[in-house]
Chains A and B, each alone.
Chain A
């Protein structure tokens, strides 16, 4: 019997192995820091200090985490249906358009709590629409979803630059961005939530979309594990031949899964566009779509895991900013290094430690 098929208890599969992968990724990142001539331990303590040392730090950490929960869920929903959606970045970008159009149309007339649901729908629909074409091509024409979603990221980037430079720009201004939304288009910050825990939010843009993100995670959990559609998606994800045999319609499930994935990615725009900058800017997604890949892999495609992984990456982003501020030798891009290593070890080398784990487990397991 091969080591791959020996069952391991859940706490090893979903706890120990991901933790081990994460530790290796961090050790190598520490090596890079050492190579630059800085102390890895000092960097680590700065990271934690930056992310959790102040109310403002925590606020920023959770602000970043909010975006990553959305994109992580987006990637995970697709993965459950056996689809690797690399296009969350583009879908979030286009989702921002939907979100901004709603905010621009309504901010003058209604308060934020009326704008927000409409903006969620707008962002979701635009994100889903951007995912629809690759989904359709995969389902009906057999084109590879990975390639098409990558292409659509670039098409989205070109389209959005065009729109922001030529269409949505404020006349007479140089910066390619929309006008600033009025109060009716801005999401309120979660000061009260932070005050409950006795910390001050400061300038951090931690806002209501965090709660929306938690709802989205809950919704995804219900969808994947408690509905017929979710069951069909998971079946398709495990084996498309089995799904076909069971009479599950391949094309329909692929398209629905990608629409949901795109909608979740699109909703991510709520956080930076309406929650933070109150306008649509070039490249506002800033790689969050790709972080979603790491978050989803790290969180083992489970909403709870995704929330935890998103907070981990939020910590990295905020703490990384702090490190680059305190240690000018280490630039912000160190985050990308860690992220790459996490994706490598938690994703591609996921099973590297498994044989060893099986070996150790068999030595100690109660007979």
Chain B
């Protein structure tokens, strides 16, 4: 295989592997910018993947699957909101609880309903989001350099992939150009001031966690019925935490979030590609190095060695109205 083909190959799997990270990290962005930490991203992603796969299998419709995924994830967000906003519980504990609950319930229900060891039955092609071939993809394939890039990386993805890349500027617009976004960011920095202005802190935070739920719904749906054709147990495999890492890495800003996710997706793609291959001078690089790299990078960043990542000031602190 010549080098450019390899490059295109790795690039296209980078895109595929980054999409769930982008959705999930944007979800975390909304929640954390409003001052609600969300360790439960992993669970929401897994839960929506399960819901999406079940409904898509039963109805044969990918869109209904997406709806179910979003619904499930929003419901979990509301539980998180109820615990951490209304009851002022510990947000980390609530998130951990959601992760446990979902890791178990998806397998328990999956086994009880389908009897296939916790996975859902294989989906028919029409119950999935199929790749969209952009116009002219085949025609330009033979043009050097640009052709393969267009045909294999830009074209041939499913609709959720394009939505993910649209969600990035859209999130930026919501956060920085709408009244809702301004208030949401304010509530993550100084909820007292927002309260003084006569705006409900709780309602703002609830809306923020619901936004997070919707976005996580997309990422879970992508995992189950766009990337794969069934729900497989534990299919989120720590991606929720990687998205959290990407969020820290991007310093809680939408466009850097996209690049951080692409970087982590690239590491993942590279790990897959490098398996069993020799690198000149180094020899075979263990796949675990690539797997650990996003986490190590995030720790180094958090330590302030490559710029400072300052989280929203009121993050993790339940708001108590002064009496």
Contact = CB atoms under 8 A, between A and B. Distances in A.
Interface residues of B, number: 49
Chain A, interface size category, equals 35 or more
A333 B118 contact: yes
B100 A343 contact: yes
B87 A159 contact: no
B192 interface: no
B90 interface: yes
Nearest to B82: A349
Contacts of A293: 93, 96
What does DSSP make chain B's interface, helix, strand, loop or mixed? helix
A226 interface: no
A343 B98 CA distance: 9
Contacts of B84: 348
Contacts of A162: 286, 288-289
A297 interface: yes
Interface string B65-82: 000000000000001001
Contacts of A159: 288, 292
A341 B97 contact: yes
Contacts of A144: 302, 311
A341 B108 contact: no
Contacts of B299: 133-134, 137, 143, 148, 151-152, 155
A290 interface: yes
B241 interface: yes
A133 B300 CA distance: 11
Contact of B304 (A141, A146, A343): A141
A340 B292 contact: no
Interface in A323-367: 329-331, 333-341, 343-344, 347-352
A147 B298 contact: yes
A148 B241 CA distance: 11
Nearest to A331: B111
A2 interface: yes
Contacts of A84: 90, 92-93
Contacts of B4: none
B303 A143 contact: yes
A190 to B, nearest CB: 30
B177 interface: no
Contacts of B123: none
Interface in B39-71: 39
In terms of DSSP, what is the predominant structure of the interface of chain A? helix
A151 B92 contact: no
Contacts of A339: 100, 104
Contact of B88 (A37, A161, A351): A351
A166 interface: yes
Contacts of A334: 104, 108
A114 interface: no
Contacts of B245: 147, 151
A331 B104 CA distance: 9
A32 B105 contact: yes
Contacts of A196: none
Q: Which of A155, A159, A330 lies at the interface centre, i.e. has the most chain B CB atoms within 10 A of its CB?
A: A155
A347 B98 CA distance: 12
A161 B288 contact: yes
Interface in A222-260: none
19 contacts: A142-B304, A143-B302, A144-B311, A147-B244, A147-B302, A152-B299, A154-B295, A161-B288, A331-B111, A333-B103, A333-B105, A336-B101, A340-B101, A340-B103, A341-B101, A343-B97, A347-B89, A347-B93, A348-B91
Interface of B: 37, 39, 79, 82-84, 87-94, 96-105, 107-109, 111-112, 118, 238, 241, 244-245, 248, 286, 288-289, 291-292, 295-296, 298-299, 302-304, 311, 323
Given A290-B100, A351-B89, 16 more contacts: A86-B96, A143-B304, A150-B241, A150-B244, A151-B296, A154-B291, A158-B289, A158-B291, A290-B96, A331-B107, A333-B118, A340-B105, A347-B89, A347-B90, A348-B87, A351-B87
Enumerate the 3 nearest inter-chain pairs by beta-carbon distance, A residue then B residue, closest first: A336-B104, A340-B101, A340-B100
